[in-house]
Structure 1
């Protein structure tokens, strides 16, 4: 699965992704802060999974400050 994340804020932070797969498994990946510090506004990552993703969430544990959590979730 290819995941694209856009930096829409003013503070550089790592991105914690939680993927929920069709088979019920959960996969977690972290995108480090480096791309944002290098001036990138979007980052793409390919994440290998055993089943299709049904849901992808950014910062599911709500650890990082975020002014709009409504744009942190994708569902199939």
Structure 2
């Protein structure tokens, strides 16, 4: 039995991978409605969102929480 496998569902995922999956699933319009941050509503791109999210812990946490809630639908 393997005991070294992480129980963290975000383990091994990059922020870019999370964002790509969320944008594919929701699109930026819905993401901007679900998480009110400017990088999702004003001229959004994955690149600009990643720059903001890497600097802003509270926003990254909201994105990760949304990803975890959405995860069952992504599989």
Please report the TM-score for the alignment, with normalisation by the length of structure 2: 0.26
Larger C-alpha radius of gyration, 1 or 2? 2
Structure richer in strand, relative to its length? 1
Structure richer in helix, relative to its length? 2
